[in-house]
Amino acid sequence: MSISLNQIKESFQEGEETLMERWEETKGYLHAIEFPATKDELLEKAQSVEASDTVVAFIKRLAHRTYESFDDMLEAAKKVIGQ
């Protein structure tokens, strides 16, 4: 299933609480990731634990770079969803 950027934005833009709930979901799937980690490593981990389509689609929208921490990913997430 392919999720569009608009669907990702809608799922995150319902409010700050929803953003943080979705963020906790993403962190839950990636809890065993060791940072720093590249976008490809994050995506591979998400797919290996059968993360939700929203989480996988979200990671696919992140910039191709190395992320230093979950906080680093959160800042990138805010840019993706325009917050």
Provide the pLDDT confidence category of residue 5 given band limits of 50, 70 and 90: low
Tell me the pLDDT tens digit for each residue of 28-54. 878 888 999 999 999 999 999 988 887
Q: Helices H, strands E: what count in the chain?
A: 5, 2
Q: How far apart are CA 55 and CA 11, in angstroms?
A: 11
Q: What is the pLDDT of residue 73?
A: 87
Q: What is the pLDDT of residue 4?
A: 62
